[in-house]
Structure 1
Amino acid sequence: MPVKNRFAELQDEITAWRRDLHENPEILFDTHRTAAIVAEKLTEFGCDEVVTGIGRTGVVGVIKGRANGSGKVIGLRADMDALPIHEQTGLDYASKTDGAMHACGHDGHTAMLLGAAKYLSETRNFDGTVVVIFQPAEEGGGGGKEMCDDGMMDRWGIQEVYGMHNWPGRPVGSFAIREGAFFAATDQFELKLEGLGGHAAKPHETVDTTVMAAQLVLALQTISSRSADPVDPVVVSVTSFETSSKAFNVIPQRVHIKGTVRTQTNDMRALAEKRIRDISAGVAATFGGQIEVVYHHGYPVMVNHGEQTDFAREIATSISGGCDEAPIVMGGEDFAFMLEERPGAYILVGNGDTAMVHHPEYNFNDDAIPAGCSWWAEVVEKRMPISA
């Protein structure tokens, strides 16, 4: 089954929706305009139920098939939020909001799922119910968790859930997926070092937090190189190093370090946290200083379920002629929360030779729309077929 003709017909309309969203990006849970547009279109399409305010600013639409003997309910999820990035694409539909940009393609995800919802509302060629989920705050806000915590899965009886993300560097409209652990758990840490400040010419009278912190940054790299099993991926990155002094001749009293930890298993996640705490305490004691470790647990590992992954791969192959094995991704994805509550799968669709996501020159490739929409629609029609 190649790309559905209906989506080729709708591509210009869906592209117009996408570019309007791109021009008007909204960050985290402040997706009020986007959510209103989504709700308006779902109502216009004739969805049987449209509910706003799920997970603060999320939107849910319900579409019932021509038959409902199967009792099946499938959820399809797209994210709506943008990133706090200043756009540098030069597009005629570039962001009109300074410091906000759809640099991850969530505008494309939302538009494609809207396109699929329009088609499914027109045809209803399935036996069961589809729940289209439009989620805020994927970029660090945990909007997926908020929607689950609002009881979304139980309220609509969702039995399986599917997600999709565009992927630069892959041929446009091609697909890739992997079973099991896919996207990484994303944790954050803060290390607050306290020493004894003083004159830079008299270091012997101080407890030098800069030297202590420098040693700590290097010591943390041994978690990956010496504490972790080499075949169990872990990334420990220090991303911020700030002292309490800006003067060239002052040894600072305090240093504040921030960083992130990415892991693919719960065991490695626990080990990385323990080693950060132990190494921090040891380095501080060695230099005679004090340290406070603040550890924030972020998104869990996103795990694709076996049966649903095989099915998602089958649908992708029917559309594009194949589906590659996706690599492990050390970035995070809060669709992980939905996959913890229900079986399902998450797939990548090619965005072509574009800038990478989270880059100020990135742009979603509208040529991916027919393939993405077709995958959503085929998931529904093939997973909940109408019996002959």
Structure 2
Amino acid sequence: MTDRRQPNLPPVALIASLGILGGVVVSGLSYQYSRNLIEQSQDRARVALARGLVVALSDDLVVHDYAGLESRLLQAMADESLASVLVTDTAGKVLVNLQRDRPQAEPALLFEPTQIPTPGKGQAAGSRTGDLTTRWTVIESGEPVGWLRLRTWSTQTDAVLDLLARQYLLLGALAAALLGTIFGSGYRQIRRQAEQREHRLQKEKAELERKALTDHLTGVYNRRGLELELQRTLENPERRRQAQLAICMIDLDDFKPVNDVYGHGIGDQLLQAVCRRLRGILRDGDLLARLGGDEFIVVFQHCGDAALALQLARRITTGLSTTFRIEDLQVRIGASVGVALDVDAPDDSLAALLQRADQVMYRAKETAKGHVALAPGPTTLESPRVSDLADRLPQ
């Protein structure tokens, strides 16, 4: 019966894979959600700082109190996260520019550059380059009077978030490698199971075919197996002409008394011994089959000559007349053989050839045990010379 179940990934590996994948996804979502919250909080803080400065600076700009501007910006630079504070008029002329190189350093007043481009209409107010975040805010007093530019460094929170991001990427890479290993191992196991199942099915199919075409007791062809083996030869006229088959029907002499006296167990062992001895007699390419009981068929190939066919058949009778040793018994039997040449009836079916060989074998058995007889062709006259060689029987 064919096993139609499909191989599946082992349950433990599947559960482990789903657990790892779920953990990575949940961790990633949690990290991203936390980062968004922190960034929003920091952004709101920067906006609040910019708005507070804008309100304080607007009056100083209107009255051109640049000393007041500088004083207010120095106070703002007390926040160590600020890298620089710059104020311009609406045309981009730099009015005050305070900057520090590192968070703990004292801010310095710069006089260069004197002019910088300011954001255009619709341009984003904030941007980030490396560790610096730049935010432009318009300064208004009823109408725009200038621009405030704040540059802030990444805070310790940003550093922690960056570290977490790298750790998360590393975790994701490790998880991906682990999942790849698990699924790769699972795939190889599934493939191995499929190959083993396919091999087993092919082996079972071959075994069923062998049993269907061979004799269960002796392991040689049965009649169906012999027919299939000879089918291509008999159906092709040219191949059949070159094969020159000689069909030998063999019936064992004195086999029934062995069964009656010693039992069927000894009889079965004797039949197996007969097959082994016949295999030793046959040439390469010759075929052996058992019809059932004590009847066998031998097919000689490249044996279109009557004299050669009779010589090979007599080797069978001589070989089977030698004593067989079965367990502690010495058993003697013989064999009668009827031979039909395919060249005498090249259009006959295998069944017709077997029938001719069977008929002449029984007529030979009635004449004398251990006899070899050659069947004449269905439309030919008996040849005295061949009859002398084979005791050829008349039709």
Q: TM-score range by the shorter chain?
A: under 0.3
The structure with the largest alpha-carbon Rg is 2
In proportion to residue count, which structure has more helix? 2
TM (norm. structure 2) is: 0.20
Structure with bigger RCO (C-alpha 8 Å, 6+ apart): 1
In proportion to residue count, which structure has more strand? 1
